[in-house]
Structure 1
Amino acid sequence: MNGPPESPDPAPRSLDQRLDAISRQPFRAKFRLRGRELATAELKGPATMRWHAYDLIAKRVAPAEPVKDGKQTPYRGHPVFVAQHATATCCRSCLQRWHGIPKGRELSRAELVYVVDVICRWIERQVAGAGGPDRGRRR
């Protein structure tokens, strides 16, 4: 795999609907980009976030049997990590349960692109909604 392809963006509305459904789950709803993670996403921009997401997913989640599966994604430290937990793309069990991507085999190219699209869309929505009066403040 040579790097993240551009998303064809065929159905952003269905992606938003999926994200809205996942965000109704109480555990997933807690995640927000704040502080350093929000600043990183804003400063680096969408193209760099896409590269980071692609690289992290390819190394940590895409293998058939990821190292420390279920515990391989930190909760903080990078916008992609926060997004993975918010979007249920943090491990193979979550991918299977929430996105219908089976465990036990390497992610296909299309699945990898889909996971990156989900993460990047969530980050985009977070950055777009970050301009309010409580910007960056922890709750």
Structure 2
Amino acid sequence: MRQDQDIDIIWDRLQRSAFRSKFRLNEKDLAYLRNKGTAVVLSHARDFIAARLAPALPAKDGKQTPWRGHPAFVAQHATATCCRGCLEKWHGIPKGQALGAAEQDYVVRLIALWLERRGGGID
């Protein structure tokens, strides 16, 4: 599994992807991020990851992350942490195995990084 040693390399690859680099928070999501604060949004992200991404065989894998409705969802698509297929392709985290605490933390760190760099800032 690729993680901390090359998070900047993965970040650069994501930014060069025409699909991944197009994601932006809309005004509603920006307002939510500003009003709730990053700590709350990342707490929600942890819950989403635990429930929707961490199981070895997530329900509706490939479709479990909505495209909008929460800043974390947008960040997941932008960072290729939206489904197990993207986690495997972009981050080297294999499908079919439950995500451990370190892997879940890694996903949340990527979401936080995107919110800081591309999503409108972190408080």
Query: Normalising to structure 2: TM-score of the pair?
Result: 0.88
Structure 1 contact 87–119 (Cα < 8 Å) conserved: yes
**Aligned AA (2:100):** S
Partner of 1:30: 22
Count of aligned positions: 118
Report 1:23-62 matches (<5 A).
Answer: 23-62=15-54
Structure 2 unaligned residues grouped into runs of 5+: none
Q: Please point out which of 63, 76, 79 is paired with 2:55.
A: 63
- The one-letter code matched in structure 1 to 2:84 is R
Percent of matched pairs sharing the same residue: 56
Q: Which runs of 4+ in 1 moved over 4 A?
A: none
Match of 1:122 in 2: 114
The one-letter code sitting in structure 2 at the alignment partner of 1:71 is: K
Alpha-carbon distance between aligned partners in 2 of 1:111 and 1:90, rounded to the nearest angstrom = 13
SS at structure 2 position matched to 1:80 = helix
Structure 2 contact 64–83 (Cα < 8 Å) conserved: yes
- Aligned with 1:68: secondary structure? coil
Q: Is the 1:49–1:120 contact (alpha carbons within 8 Å) kept by the matching residues of 2? A: no
**AA partner of residue 96 (structure 1):** E
Find out whether 1:100 has 2:92 as its counterpart.
yes
Structure 1 residues without counterparts, runs of 5 or longer: 1-10, 130-139
1:3-44 per-position Cα deviation (integer Å, ceiling 9, x unaligned)? xxxxxxxx6x95344223212111111101121011111211
- Cα RMSD, aligned residues only: 1.8
Q: TM-score, normalised by structure 1?
A: 0.79
Are residues 1:80 and 2:82 paired? Answer: no
**CA shift at 1:90, angstroms?**
0.2
Cα deviation per residue 1:52-80 (whole Å; 9 max; x = unaligned)?
Answer: 11000000000000000001111010001
